[in-house]
A and B are shown apart, each in its own frame.
Chain A
Amino acid sequence: MEIALSFLIGLFFTVAIYLLLSRSLIRMLLGIAIIGNGVNLLIFTIGRVTREVPPIVPSGEYAPLETIANPLPQALILTAIVIGFSLFAFLLVLTYRAYQELDADNTDTMRVAEPEDSPRPPLSY
């Protein structure tokens, strides 16, 4: 199973990076969302995958009776999902606001912070 997931993760990253390299902000946003999923799956797979046994101790027991899924990557991913969503929402709104104020959704035309003809630093004290 891990092997199939590995190739799927490779595809996630390929698609995400291809989207991130486009100059359209919307496509880059989609890339961000996908790369987040790719990373989560990566952590999940590295922690090894087992079928259908959640990391929950049965009621009344002190330890699980059978082999269970690795809980540690799950804990890491759980917060990563929520944070990834916050970041995605932030970037989405940022894109939207940039589009409103600059009328630009292409990174080539967004040069306010780093204009092409920025002045040279002064040679004095």
Chain B
Amino acid sequence: MSDLPNHHALLLIALAPFVAALFAPWVNRFAKGISGWILATVPAAIFLVLTTFIGDIAEGQTKSFAISWVDGRYFHFPINLSFFVDGLSLLFALLISGIGTFIVTYSGGYLNGHRHQGRFFSFILMFMGSMLGLVLADNIITLFVFWELTSITSFLLIGFNHNKEASRRAAIQALVVTGGGGLLLLFGLLMIFAVSGHSELSTLLTDQNVLRDSPFYLMILLLVLGGAFTKSAQVPFHFWLPNAMEAPTPVSAYLHSATMVKAGVYLLARMSPVLNGTDQWNLILPIFGGITLMTGAIMALRQTDMKQMLAYTTLGSLGMLVMLLGLSEKVAILAAMLFLVAHSFYKGGLFMVVGAIDHESGTRDLTEVSGLRYKLPFTFIGAALAAISMAGFPVSLGYFAKEEIYLLFGPENIWSMVLVLVALVGNGLMMAAGLAIAIKPFFGEKLETPKSPHEAPLSMIWGPIILGVLGFAAGFYISDVGEIFFAPAATAVYAKLVETHLKLHFDPLLLGLSVGTWIVGGLAFYKLDAIRSFLRRVANVWRWGPDQGFDQFMFGLIRFADAVTRFFHHGRLEFYLILVFVCLAGALFAPLVMQDALPNLPAFPNLRFYEWAILAIAVIGLIAVILAKTRLVAIVSLGIQGFAVAIIFLLFGAPDLGFTQLMVETLSVVILALVMTRLHLDQRDSRVLEEAVRDGAIAIVCGFGFVALLLAVLSVELDTSLSEFFIETSVPIAHGRNIVNVILVDYRALDTLGEISVVMTAGIAILALIGIRVGGIKRGIGAAKKRAPKPRTPKKTIARSKGARA
């Protein structure tokens, strides 16, 4: 790693969006309408920097950058901020920054004049940075951190309209689902490190069989899949994605079609070299992917909300990608890469088109808009280009993606034949949805819409048009594009050199499958209304789904948390304390009993008479405190035991302690006297006899626990090495003869510094407490003098009205 030059550009690429996010609100405040164009220069610049890597990456090089944070030499687990670029990362990074450029300008138009547009720019740029960091990450902890950041920024973006409950719910749902998956991923990544010893992806990927040969392979696989499937919304974790359409449309276009949901796909592709090809991988991925594909494709046709339709087709496409990666074959991987890019182009474009229709006409319901082709001609062009690519007509990128998928069709392998047929039906149904969005709003009679429609601003339509054109340009120059972009990406996933040799050709079998797709799509489009009403009837019968399950889970969690809190935080201080002291008694006795270290009854101590006397005084003081019935007796008794302690210190070689204790006891008595004169001590303990016996029993058990602990401790040799060090070095190196003081102000001065800070804090807190009165703070020193004498009427209302027991 270290022998390669550091490419600081990588750090810049990942961090620049975060820096831009910091300034976005100010840019928005001053530049208003054109702030989108200004901020879009950031992703555009990133895109341009990335294009300079293309040549080297296509030749098979990688670029890397690392800052060491936690060094592996000192800590078992090396944690670095490290990035690397290979074909796969580059492809993703180009998509993120390129589409991001369009999205930022689009947001400028879509949310023009919105109160929180600046905040929105901030969020979306932060998301962009997280996503770039994720696809460029080398260290697995770096990967995880950016992975979680995408979840968090996605939460912020989905919940952008936070005054709508549906938005809040969708945001929390996305966070819980993807965050839970992130937790699984973290375990998976840590296990990968534990098994392989690699903390950097770039070295892990060269050590190909280290995970597959491990007995923990299945566990690692399931944990990684847990992360990927939640992020990429595979059934049964799919439900958060359609709900996330509550977000403003730029978010849906960017996060929920082009980038974030592809993070799971990226992870699977990234880990393919070390995880794929096993029976488990080849079984789990295609099954989940296939089910997701069919679910998404069918559910898409049920919707009339165009964003929902697109969300479900996105679901289907993600299923397709997972299915393809699950085949672990060269052709399938290349197909996945092609499909990924084609999908990002047309789905991002379609989302932006739908947003433009919604923005200009005021509705995005398929049945409410019609005949807009003259009103929104450029939007229509964008929609048409995207739909053609989605349907996979030649020579769009979508066509080549589809052809590559159908190349897997072969009679020698039943499994892939079945999957190709699933893909065919799925493609056809998704094509129907795409056609519906490209045709229904634009043709037919013009319907009344909430807003009088007119063409969307340039900032909103150049994205879909350029993406659409690019989709065709890429198809037109497919052999070059294939070698430059798709071959390196597929090579990174397949871990062996992949050559593309893509060109336009007509194989009868492939053509037949394509025609089949178009027939399925055309029929479904033709019968769309009938299919929709049928699907709705079915949906009416089957009401429960994971979406409802999520609510039940969350509310159950809240109820459970409430019950637990109520059980432990019942508000009765005496029971808190009883719990504490019962546990204390257990903690005192349990180790002694378990280690069979209960001390024997010691010999009767041999003391001098004045020592007995001082012990007796302490005992008398203690007992008098318990029995005290007036405050004077209590204060005096407390003083007696305190002075007895001071004398004990003095008698046994601790003059500093003795004097300090004496001073403290004096001051305690003074301030007790100052305060206690205004408080009444209950004449009798308020406890009834049973409570007193219970408390007494706990107290006595604890007391004996301390005696037993002390006797046990005293029976073993004391390690005095530290004390001896202090004794021996106090004069020679610390120039002080009072060893206690030397320890305090020199050896352990940092402790003392903390302790005097505590004393000072207590002083400030007490001043504040005395100064605060209900209904205002006494200002300034001596303000008490000016205050009118307070009538001594107890505020019964406060304590009683809040449900206090009378």
Contact = CB atoms under 8 A, between A and B. Distances in A.
Given A17-B703, A75-B748, A33 B799 contact: no
Given A3-B605, A24-B686, A53-B653, 16 more contacts: A4-B605, A8-B615, A15-B622, A15-B699, A23-B574, A26-B676, A27-B685, A46-B714, A57-B731, A72-B743, A78-B656, A83-B758, A90-B769, A97-B772, A102-B799, A116-B803
27 contacts: A3-B602, A4-B611, A7-B707, A10-B707, A15-B625, A21-B574, A26-B679, A27-B685, A38-B706, A40-B657, A44-B648, A44-B657, A45-B714, A48-B714, A48-B718, A49-B653, A52-B653, A71-B723, A74-B654, A79-B751, A86-B758, A95-B675, A103-B795, A103-B799, A109-B805, A111-B804, A125-B165
B762 A87 contact: yes
Contact of A102 (B651, B713, B722, B798): B798
Contact of A103 (B571, B651, B700, B796): B796
The 8 closest A-B pairs by CB, nearest first: A69-B653, A14-B703, A114-B571, A103-B794, A86-B762, A10-B707, A75-B743, A18-B699
A89 B675 CA distance: 10
Interface stretch (B107-115, B124-132, B554-562): B554-562
Contacts of B743: 71-72, 75
Given A72-B726, A74-B657, A97-B769, A18 B740 contact: no
Given A18-B695, A23-B686, A41-B648, A104 B172 contact: no
Given A6-B714, A8-B615, A9-B706, A33 B649 contact: no
A53 B652 CA distance: 7
Given A69-B654, A106-B686, A101 B795 contact: yes
B538 interface: no
A104 B799 contact: yes
Contacts of B696: 18
Contacts of A82: 660, 664, 755, 759
Contacts of B558: 121, 123
Nearest to A57: B737
Interface residues of A, number: 103
A93 B766 contact: yes
Interface string A10-35: 11111111111111101100100110
Contacts of B737: 56-59
Interface in B498-530: none
B172 to A, nearest CB: 6
Contacts of A84: 664
Interface string B626-644: 1000010010001001100
B657 A12 contact: no
Which size bracket describes the interface of B in this complex? Answer: 35 or more
Contacts of B450: none
A6 B710 contact: yes
Given A103-B796, A108-B805, A50 B664 contact: no
A26 to B, nearest CB: 5
Nearest to A106: B686
A63 B571 contact: no
B645 A15 contact: no
B702 A17 contact: yes
B59 interface: no
Contacts of B686: 22-24, 106
Given A9-B706, A53-B653, A83-B759, A21 B641 contact: no
Interface stretch (B49-57, B278-286, B402-410, B665-673): B665-673
Interface string B520-559: 0000000000000000000000000000000000110011
Contacts of B695: 17-18, 21-22
Contacts of B702: 13-14, 17
B389 to A, nearest CB: 37
Nearest to B612: A4
B744 A46 contact: no
Contacts of B805: 108-109, 111, 116
A82 B334 CA distance: 73
Nearest to A116: B803
A69 B573 CA distance: 41
Contact of A34 (B641, B671, B796, B800): B641
A83 to B, nearest CB: 6
A74 B24 CA distance: 59
A85 B664 contact: yes
B573 A92 contact: no
Most buried by B among A45, A85, A105, A123: A85
Interface of A: 1-24, 26-27, 30, 33-34, 37-38, 40-42, 44-59, 61-64, 68-72, 74-75, 77-79, 81-90, 92-97, 99, 101-117, 120-121, 123-125
Given A90-B762, A102-B795, A121-B558, A83 B605 contact: no
A110 B799 contact: yes
A52 B652 contact: yes
B774 A4 contact: no
Contacts of A9: 706-707, 710
A53 B572 CA distance: 48
A34 B621 CA distance: 10
B394 interface: no
Contacts of A24: 681-682, 685-686
A44 to B, nearest CB: 7
Contacts of A55: 653-654, 727, 738-740
B731 A63 contact: yes
A15 B740 contact: no
Most buried by A among B172, B615, B755, B762: B762
B770 A21 contact: no
Nearest to B772: A97
A14 B679 CA distance: 25
Contacts of A12: 622, 641
A56 B736 CA distance: 9
B210 interface: no
A60 to B, nearest CB: 9
B777 to A, nearest CB: 13
A88 B668 contact: yes
B730 interface: yes
Given A17-B699, A77-B657, A81-B661, A93 B769 contact: yes
Contact of B626 (A19, A63, A123): A19
B415 interface: no
B578 interface: yes
A47 B713 CA distance: 10
A94 B769 contact: yes
A55 B720 CA distance: 14
A56 B738 CA distance: 5
B340 interface: no
Contacts of A113: 571
B198 interface: no
A5 B759 contact: no
Contact of A90 (B578, B642, B651, B765): B765
Given A62-B731, A109-B799, A4 B653 contact: no
A17 B602 contact: no
Contact of A33 (B571, B574, B619, B642): B642
A89 B605 contact: no
A81 B625 contact: no
Contacts of A117: 803
Contacts of A11: 618-619, 622, 703
A6 B711 contact: yes
B638 A33 contact: yes
A71 B736 CA distance: 13
Nearest to B603: A3
Given A12-B622, A70-B723, A93-B675, A23 B652 contact: no
